[in-house]
Amino acid sequence: MFLKTQKIGVNVSEIVLYLMCPRKVYYSCRGHETFPAATFSYIGHLILKEMGLKYPDLLKTYSSKDDDILADLETMLLRVSEELAFIYPEEFACVSSDMIEEAITHVRSCINDMGPNLLSFITDDSSGQLREQLMSAESGHLYHSEKLDLSGIPNSIIDIDGTLSPLLVKTGQCPEQGVWNNDRLHVASLAMLMEKSNNSHVRSGIVVYARQGSIRNVNVRSDDRRKVLQVLGRVRKVKGGSLPDRKESSLCEDCAYLEMCKVQSSLVSKFF
Ligand code: SF4
């Protein structure tokens, strides 16, 4: 019942943003939406994301250790680089060819990590089940839960033991083992969203760390579900007008809200 008391709809992307920095949610939902700056690292992120989405297709064509996965990843990189301007026309409207080349060079340097990791995933007997699940991937689409007032789109949808489950592609560094906590909660929030339409419990999902070619299974625990509900309540509070404390971190340096965030913090400290 308590979920029904506040009718403020939330998107899963706002949960992810809140986990990065609560104040970003405050600014973004107040009309301060910004386009990420078209830096070479942002273009690199888009290239890696598109490559990660194509991993299932790549894996379908591989079965032996002799296959030249590095050459195929290079072909994939060039193909993705050509497709980007069609997929992200607004972001690419003012991007120079030099910047795209710089991003391609950066991603190319990751292929030496990606290739061996993907190859061992393909050939390792213990990855068989995960491999099958990954290869069932289909494009993600919008899910909405009336009860949670929550919407979101998984990057892809996979079949895990007959249940449609979320697959996420991440482009940052992957942890030594498992998945990062924020990625776990991202999967859990999508799982909670999807199970209403599935009419069955979503027990796990997959996170693809595209930069390293690492594919990780993540089980959705009760603890994760509890945390998602907590964060959901906090996001609603922020969207309802409560300014969160400033959480200074390495993200601040490149944050589009930096100036207004600093000014607002100094005003708050002046009056209280
Ligand atoms: S400047 Fe830092 S604290 Fe402020 S919104 Fe950006 S990331 Fe968050």
- Domains in the chain and their CATH numbers? 1-34+137-272 (3.90.320.10), 35-123 (no CATH)
Whole-angstrom distance between the N-terminal and C-terminal Cα of the chain?
A: 35
CA dist 117 → 57, 60, 104, 213 (Å): 16, 16, 20, 6
Where on the phi/psi map is residue 73: left (φ > 0), alpha (ψ -120 to 50), or beta?
alpha
**Other Cβ atoms closer than 10 A to 13:** 15
In this prediction the pTM is 0.90
Q: Which two tokens stand for residue 226?
A: 């509890």
57, two tokens: 């297709």
Is residue 258 lining ligand 1, measured as CB closer than 6 Å? Answer: yes
Q: What confidence score (pLDDT) does residue 91 get?
A: 80
Block means of pLDDT (10 residues each) for the chain, 272 residues, are 65 96 92 70 94 92 70 94 91 85 94 92 89 94 94 97 96 96 98 88 97 97 98 95 88 87 69 52
Of ligand 1's listed atoms, the one at least distance from the Cα of 249 is 2
The 8-class DSSP code of residue 214 comes to E
Cα-to-centroid distance, 133 and ligand 1 (Å)? 37
Q: Ligand 1 mean position to 263 CA, how many Å?
A: 11
